[in-house]
């Protein structure tokens, strides 16, 4: 879990992506939400990022739910040439600290 740049999608390569992946046996325990939430906070507070995106397959219900729980919203779809299909780009702006 954490922020990285999705270089596999050139049109998004300059935007920091918050990603997560857990082994199936770890699903359903809230671990992804806890870790992704901590990574989100670190990305905004320590790294000073202005936004985060997540690239999620439209049929991945668990990841869509987690993205929504983190405060993300669907921005648009892009074509992923590696998969040969459209994927959703979710976005979250850094909180206003003024």
The CA distance from 8 to 1, in Å, is: 17
Other CB atoms within a 10 A radius of the CB of residue 73 amount to 10
Residue 98: inside a domain, yes or no? no
Instruction: For residue 13, give its domain range.
Output: 2-93
**Total number of domains constituting the chain:** 1
For residue 13, what are its two tokens? Answer: 């390569």
The CA distance from 27 to 25, in Å, is: 6
The CA distance from 60 to 76, in Å, is: 16
The CA distance from 96 to 85, in Å, is: 35
Model confidence band, residue 98 (pLDDT cutoffs 50, 70, 90): low
DSSP state of 23: -
Query: What does the pLDDT look like over 6-59, one tens digit per residue?
Result: 999 999 999 999 999 889 998 889 899 999 999 999 999 999 999 999 999 999
Residue 61: inside a domain, yes or no? yes
What is the CATH number for 88? 3.40.630.30
- What length is written for the chain? 98
**Range scoring the smallest mean pLDDT among 60-64, 74-78, 93-97:** 93-97
């Amino acid at each position: 879990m954490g922020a990285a740049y999705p270089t596999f999608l050139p049109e998004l390569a300059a935007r920091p992506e918050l990603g997560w992946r857990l082994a199936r046996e770890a699903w359903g325990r809230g671990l992804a939400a806890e870790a992704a939430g901590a990574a989100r906070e670190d990305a905004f507070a320590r790294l000073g990022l202005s936004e985060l995106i997540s690239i999620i397959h439209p049929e991945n219900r668990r990841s869509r739910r987690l993205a929504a729980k983190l405060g993300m919203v669907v921005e648009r779809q892009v074509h992923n040439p590696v998969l040969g299909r459209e994927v959703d780009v979710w976005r979250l702006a850094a909180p206003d600290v003024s």
